Amino acid sequence: MTRKDRWLLWIFLAPSLGLIGLFLYWPMVGTVIESFYATSFISPNPEFVGFDGYREVFSDRDFDDVFWNSIAWTLGVVVFQNMLGFLAAMLLNQGLPFRGVTRALVLMPFVLPGVVTAILWRFMYDPQLGLVNSLMIRTGLASETSAWLANPDTAMAAVIFVAVWKGFPFSMLIYLAALQTVDRSQLEAATLDGAGPLRRLWDVTLPAIRHVILVNVVLTLILTFNYFDIVWVMTRGGPQQATHIFPTKIYETGFGQFRFGEAATYGVVSILVLAVLVALYVIVQAGANRRGRRT
Amino acid sequence: MMAAVELRDLHKTFGAYTALERLNLEIEDGEFLVLLGPSGCGKSTTMRLIAGLEEPSSGDILIGGKRVNDTPPRDRDLAMVFQNYALYPHMTVAENIGYPLKVARVPRTARADRVRAAAAKVEMAHLLDRRPGELSGGQRQRVALARAIVRTPRLFLMDEPLSNLDAKLRTVMRAELRHLQKELATTTIYVTHDQVEAMTLADRIVILNDARIQQIGTPKEVYERPANTFVAGFIGGPPMTLIPGTVTADRFTHETGALDLPGQPDGPAIIGARPEDIRVTAPGAGDLDGTVFSSELLGDATLLTVRVGPALVAVKVGPDDGRDMDAPVGLSLDRAKLHVFDGQTGQRRD
C-alpha cells in the first residue's frame, strides 16, 4: 500500500468513524465529564466538583445497595436463565412429538416486549387478584397471600423469576443450536463404552459445547447487567431500594431527581463494569473462534 | 467367552420405509463376517441393531445364546469402530483409549497398563499424549481400534472403518485389521460397501440389497457362484459382464449373436462371464464380436473394454496384449465358467 493509498483509506473511513465517534462514544465521554460536575434541577449551572462526586456516591449507603443488588440480580438471572435454557434445550433436542409447536410455544416469553411482560407479571403477583397467590394457596404451598413485589425480602427474587422466564428461551435457542452440532457418533461411542446419560453429558456433550456455554454466559451477563424495563415497570427499584440496580438508579437519579452529576457517576461505574464484561466476552469469543478454526 | 450371534426374523422399519426385511443370520464364535452392499441396503441398520443403538421393529437378537433385545448397549459387551472414528476431541490418545475402562471404574494403574498394551498393539504407544486433532487419519483409526480392543469385548462391530483413509493406507490397515482379528479371535461384524475389503477380510460375506440378504458365503463361493445377477454384478472388479437373451433348443440368442448353451431350459436367460473368463480372438472366430472401446494397463494385466452392440464388456488380458482403440475383436466365453441366470427372476439357474 502506497502512502497515497493509505491517505485515501482514511478519507473513505473518516465519515463512518466520525459518525461512530459522535453517536457511540461521545455520549460515554460526555457521561464521564458530567460525572465531575454537580448539577441539580434548582441550580441548572453545573459546578465542577472533580472526584468529590465519586467520594460522595461511594460513601453513600445507596451505592452499596445498588452495587450488591446489581450483583444479586445479574448472577441470579444469568445462573437460572442459563440452567433453565440448557435444560429446555436438552429436552427439545430429544425426539419429542410436536417438537416444532413446543419450540414455538417455549419461545413465546422471549418475543413479548419487556414492558408487556412486566405489566403481565405485576398482575400475576398481585396479592388480591394475582394467579401466583391463588395457585400457591390452592396447592397448599402457602396459607395466606403475599405481596411479592412489596416485600423487600421477596421483591428481588420475584423480578429475577420474571427475567428468567422471559430470558431463558434466548439461552435455550443458542444451546439447542449447539447441541445439534454435537457429533452423534461420539455420543453413541460413549454409550457403547458404557457411559450412562449423565456421564455422556459430562464427558462428551459439555466439552463439545463448552465455548458456546462460556460465550452465552458472558453475553447474558452483559445483557442482564443492562436490563431496565422489567425492573422499572414492576418495582421502580423498590421497595426500600430492594430492587434498585444500576440502570434503574441512573434513570431515577437523572430523570426523577434531576441530579445529573450523580447519575453520571453511577453511569461511569456501570460503564467500567460493562467494560470488564465486554473484555471477558472478547477473550471468550476469541477462544471459541480459535477452536472453531481448529476443528 | 462364546460370542456367537444369531439374528432371527430381524425386521426394522422407519415410518413407512423398511430398512431391514426379516433377516435371519448366524454368526459363529470368532468369525469375521462382512456385511456388504450398496448405500441404503440395510447393512448399517443391522449393525446398529446388534449394537443396541436402534431397536428392532420385530425379531430377536441373540449374543452368546442369550436374547439381548432388551439389554442396553453398554451391557451387551461389544465395542464398535465408527466410520468417522468418533474419538473424543478434548481427550488425549491415552484418555480416549482408556475411556471404556474409566467408565467401568478400572483402577488408574491397571488402566494405564491396559491402555499401553492396547496402544502397543496398534503401534500408537509413542503418541499417547497427543489429541485426536494432532493425528493423521490413519493414526486416528488406530486409536479407535485400540479403544475397541482395550476392554477385550466379546464382539467387535466395525462400520466402514477404512472408508475415510486414502487407498494406500487402506490396503495396509486392511492387512493389519485382518491380522489383529485373527490374533484376538474375537467375533467381528464388519460393514462395508467396498467389495475388495469384503473379499480380503471376510471369513464369510453377507451381501445385502433392498433390505434383504442376497447371498451368504465365503469370498470364494460368492465370487465363483453368485446367487443372482445382483451379486454377480456387485462382486468382482471390474464386474461380471451380464448379457440378456433367450434360450431356444440349447442355443442362447442375444442382441448381437448366438452361442450354444446345452442343458438349459427354453426361455429368457442372462449369461454372465468374469473378465478373466473371456478370451480375445480374431473377429468372427469367437462368441461375440465388437470393437475396442478402451485399453488400460493395470501393471500385471491389461483391462480391455470392448463395445458389443450397446453393451460394454470387460476383458482381462496379459499385460502385453493391449489393443488399439476401435480395433475389431472377437470374444470367446469360457463355457466351463459361464454363469447362467433366470431372465425373469435373475436367480442362478444351476
- The reply to whether residue A191 touches residue B74, judged by beta carbons under 8 angstroms, is yes
- The reply to whether residue A183 touches residue B84, judged by beta carbons under 8 angstroms, is yes
Residue B240, pLDDT above cutoff 80 = yes
Q: Give contacts of A186 with chain B, Cβ < 8 Å.
A: 86-88
B235-266 residues labelled b (16+ CB within 10 A) or e (exposed): bbeeebbbbebebeeeebebeebebebeebee
pLDDT at A61: 86
How many Å is the Cα radius of gyration of chain B? 24
DSSP B217-244: E-HHHHHHS-SBHHHHHHSSSSPPEEEE
pLDDT at A14: 93
- The reply to whether residue B104 touches residue A196, judged by beta carbons under 8 angstroms, is no
Q: Which is nearest to B19 in space by CA: B52, B63, B54?
A: B54
B36-68 residues labelled b (16+ CB within 10 A) or e (exposed): bbeeebbbbbbbbbbbbbbebeebebebbeeeb
pLDDT tens digits along B291-317: 999 999 998 899 999 998 888 899 999
As for how many domains chain A has, the answer is 1
Angle between helices A260-294 and A52-59 (to 10 degrees): 80
- Judged by CB atoms within 8 Å, which residues 179-218 of A form the interface with B? 183, 185-186, 188-196, 199, 203-204, 207-208
Query: Order of strands, edge to edge, in the sheet holding B212-217?
Result: B78-81, B155-159, B187-192, B32-36, B204-209, B212-217
Co-location of B214 and B142 in the same domain: yes
Q: Smallest Cβ distance to B74: which of A185, A192, A207?
A: A192
A5 inside domain = no
Nearest Cα of chain A lies from the Cα of B208 at a distance, in angstroms, of 23
User: Looking at B249-308, which runs of residues are DSSP E strands?
Assistant: 251-254, 257-260, 267-273, 278-281, 288-297, 302-308
Alpha carbon separation from B350 to B225, B263, B265, B322 (Å, rounded): 9, 10, 11, 34
- The reply to whether residue B88 touches residue A185, judged by beta carbons under 8 angstroms, is no
Q: Smallest Cβ distance to B86: which of A188, A194, A294?
A: A188
In terms of Cβ atoms closer than 10 Å to its own Cβ (0-12, 13-18, 19+), residue B311 is middle
Co-location of B104 and B157 in the same domain: yes
Q: Give contacts of A208 with chain B, Cβ < 8 Å.
A: 89-90
Angle at B224 between CA B223 and CA B229, to 5 degrees: 70
Q: Which residues of B touch A (CB under 8 A)?
A: 51-53, 73-74, 78-80, 82-84, 86-90, 99-100, 103-104, 133, 147
Confidence of residue A295 (pLDDT cuts 50, 70, 90): very low
Q: For residues A181 and B237, what is the distance between their CA atoms, to the nearest angstrom?
A: 38
How much is the average pLDDT of B198-209?
Answer: 94
How much is the average pLDDT of A196-212?
Answer: 92
Residue B193, pLDDT above cutoff 70 = yes
CATH number of the domain that residue A174 is part of: 1.10.3720.10
pLDDT at A294: 52
Confidence of residue A291 (pLDDT cuts 50, 70, 90): low
Co-location of B245 and B122 in the same domain: no
Range of the domain at B304: 239-342
Residue A292, pLDDT above cutoff 60 = no
Co-location of B123 and B270 in the same domain: no
Nearest Cα of chain B lies from the Cα of A204 at a distance, in angstroms, of 7
Residues in chain A: 295
CATH number of the domain that residue B199 is part of: 3.40.50.300
Co-location of B201 and B75 in the same domain: yes
Cell of B104: 467401568
As for how many domains chain B has, the answer is 2
Nearest Cα of chain B lies from the Cα of A207 at a distance, in angstroms, of 7
| Boundary residue ending a domain (B199, B216, B233) | B233
